[in-house]
Amino acid sequence: MGFTVNALSPVLGAEVIGLDLSSSISDAELSRLNQAWLDHNGVLVVRDQSLTPEQHIAFSKRFGELEQHVVGQFLLKGYPEIYRVSTKVDDDGKPMGNPESGRYWHSDLSYLERPSKASLLYALELPESGGDTMLASMYAAYDALSDTMKGMIEGLTGVHDLYHVNKFFETSGPSAAQAELTPPVEHPVVRTHPETGRKALFINPGFTSRIVELSKSESDALLEFLFAHATKPEFVYRHRWRLHDLLLWDNRCTIHHAVHDFAGSGFRHMHRTTVLGEAAVL
């Protein structure tokens, strides 16, 4: 089958060359692509795509049901499955997409009862330099913990809240009304991936506000340690975007953030779809 897969880092990530997603790929190609995604710990970049919104949505649906983001002002008109990540503005001067998107480490939609399975981010316009995306392997972060620490955190429960960090972004974050539509939820601090059977940390600085079973001071201290541990350089792949990359990551075993270092270097304009996942379980 006519595409190649090349590893991009030792810990996670691979690039796919020679696959055209503008037309429907075969079930065999999809199976091979999905296996490569799992084998490379949940991060694939499919190079050199030319996708309409319809084609982006159609390919994304091959991975499951799509989620509509609660922050509706940044959805692409006519395509509610597409969330715009953009520093551009519309003709009326309003932001096309969320210009602050991803400034902090997070897992997309972990604040839902059924957190997302995958995100597919398509690069339509890039700054001359900067604007990379950092992705961290929560498999590797879990595996590197001592047996004592693993035993301590397994069975603990984290609270995930859309408003936890987003409340600081007055113009681009969710409104109070939007946040009320997604009240805080609880997920295990360690989850088992439903396809690989591997364990991964399932906490993130953006949305995990506390650990249920601990006092505030204990929770703050443990989360601070786990956040710093999970984002150590040895667990991280830095994606340097090329125009028309389609980046696919697994929110069940990775966290990510966008590097906002491109002021004055041009616009960063992208479309994202998000695939609904299953309840997180230990």
Residue 124 to residue 82: CA distance in whole angstroms: 13
Catalytic choice (40, 56, 106, 160): 106
**Phi-psi category of 266—alpha, beta or left, where left has phi over 0 and alpha has psi -120 to 50?**
left
Paired strand residues for 43: 249
Residue 70 to residue 109: CA distance in whole angstroms: 10
Residue 235 to residue 136: CA distance in whole angstroms: 5
Catalytic choice (40, 69, 108, 210): 108
Q: Confirm whether 108 is a catalytic residue.
A: yes
Q: Which of 178, 133, 141, 139 is nearest to 268 (CA)?
A: 133
Q: Which of 274, 272, 276, 275 is nearest to 74 (CA)?
A: 272
Mention every residue, 6+ apart, whose C-beta is less than 8 A from residue 21: 46, 49, 51, 55, 59, 246
Catalytic choice (193, 256, 268, 271): 256
Q: Confirm whether 257 is a catalytic residue.
A: no
Q: In what order do the strands lie in the sheet with 79-86?
A: 4-7, 14-17, 43-46, 246-250, 116-125, 269-276, 79-86, 75-76
Q: Confirm whether 256 is a catalytic residue.
A: yes
Q: Name the pairing type of β-strands 14-17 and 43-46.
A: parallel
Q: Hey, which residues are catalytic here? A: 106, 108, 256, 272
